[in-house]
């Protein structure tokens, strides 16, 4: 059987810590996408925001940024991911699973591991897989065709989550658009955070943050969003290239640039979450739907290998 990478333990990272490695991989994919014109901000594909298959979790933090950049740089058509630990577990039922040649996982992490006083949505990485702070996820397209079909069949229930999530978000977004958000504290804080990260060490990064925000918004409510991303494409790539040049000139180490990029783009992700929240207070059907998936997976009866592959 294939030994899928599970968590950070005993991983050879060339001297980088787990935190540094996380941002290093993010930056390298970001730089490749910037050079190749493949930044994910301009994707019009439905359901392209990353989600984890075994839990049904929709990923909407810095891990979203890392996974999207990696998926775009590697040409993955899917943004569905699954824990390496989970792949090791289920292949005992499905038979051996295999990844494609040269495929590799992505390290994801929660900085709030063990901090139970924080909102549970920040703890999703430690809720599944090996339940460690730093875990590896594999894109479903990194598996060979037989393995991909077997895994999707095994977790077919989770495919129902995203449409319900988008319908609820669209309803909340339309309602919010009819209100004046100026007096809402959560909205005001999110907007100020976007302004704070609109530049990185004097480099204008506002077009990149705006395009990322609208990309996330489109995917959270469906394809009904009309926006100006295409008009800002050249500005976005120019700003991103300035950061790449900073690294190539030795001004930043790759992981340092990755951290700056992630925090700037995360301000756009947070603004998107507020935009689709019910009355701007982060209440929606997402968690309810995810709990349904988790319960269905926990209560799933044992299935023979022949049942999964059928």
What confidence tens digit (pLDDT) does each residue in 122-136 have?
A: 566 777 788 888 999
- At 5, list the tokens: 């990478």
Question: Comparing 268 with 285, which gets the higher pLDDT?
Answer: 268
Mean pLDDT for the stretch of residues 186-204: 92
How far apart CA 107 and CA 21 sit, in angstroms, is 8
Contact yes or no for 83/151 (Cβ under 8 A): no
pLDDT in tens, 69-121: 999 999 998 889 999 999 999 999 889 999 998 888 999 987 666 654 445 55
Closest C-alpha among 120, 123, 31, 139 to residue 77: 139
List own/partner pairs for 14-19 with CB under 8 A and 24 or more apart.
Answer: 16/255, 18/107, 18/109, 18/133, 18/134, 19/109
How far apart CA 198 and CA 206 sit, in angstroms, is 4
User: What pLDDT, on the 0 to 100 scale, is given for residue 205?
Assistant: 97
Cα 203 off chain centre by = 25
Contact yes or no for 35/244 (Cβ under 8 A): yes
Contact yes or no for 23/258 (Cβ under 8 A): yes
Mean pLDDT for the stretch of residues 184-211: 92
pTM of the model: 0.85
User: What pLDDT, on the 0 to 100 scale, is given for residue 117?
Assistant: 44
DSSP letters, 43-97, are ---TT-S-EETTT-PBP-SHHHHHHHHHHHHHT-S--EEEEHHHHHHHHHHH---
């Amino acid at each position: 059987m294939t030994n899928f990478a599970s968590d950070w333990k005993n991983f050879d990272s060339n001297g980088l810590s787990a935190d540094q490695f996380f941002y290093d991989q993010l930056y390298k994919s970001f730089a490749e996408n910037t050079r190749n014109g493949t930044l994910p901000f301009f994707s019009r594909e439905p359901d392209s925001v990353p989600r984890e298959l075994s839990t049904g979790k929709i990923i909407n933090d810095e891990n979203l940024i890392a996974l999207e950049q990696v998926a775009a740089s590697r040409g993955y058509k899917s943004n569905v991911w699954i824990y390496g630990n989970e792949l090791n577990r289920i292949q005992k039922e499905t038979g051996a699973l295999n990844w494609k040649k040269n495929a590799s996982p992505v390290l994801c992490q929660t900085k709030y591991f063990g901090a139970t006083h924080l909102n549970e949505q920040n703890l999703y990485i430690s809720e599944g897989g090996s339940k460690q702070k730093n875990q590896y996820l594999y894109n479903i397209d990194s598996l060979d065709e037989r393995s991909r079909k077997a895994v999707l069949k095994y977790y077919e229930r989770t495919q129902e989550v995203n449409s319900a999530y988008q319908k609820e978000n669209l309803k909340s977004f339309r309602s919010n658009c009819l209100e004046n958000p100026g007096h809402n504290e959560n909205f005001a804080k999110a907007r100020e955070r976007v302004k704070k990260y609109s530049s990185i060490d004097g480099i204008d990064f506002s077009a990149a943050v705006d395009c990322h925000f609208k990309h996330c918004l489109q995917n959270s409510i469906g394809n009904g969003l009309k926006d100006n991303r295409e008009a800002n494409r050249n500005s976005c790539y120019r700003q991103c290239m300035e950061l790449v040049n900073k690294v190539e000139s030795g001004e930043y180490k790759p992981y340092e640039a990755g951290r700056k990029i992630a925090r700037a783009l995360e301000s756009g992700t947070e603004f998107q979450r507020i935009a689709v929240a019910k009355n701007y207070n982060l209440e929606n059907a997402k968690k309810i739907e995810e709990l349904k998936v988790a319960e269905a997976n926990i209560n799933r009866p044992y299935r023979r290998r022949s049942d999964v592959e059928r």
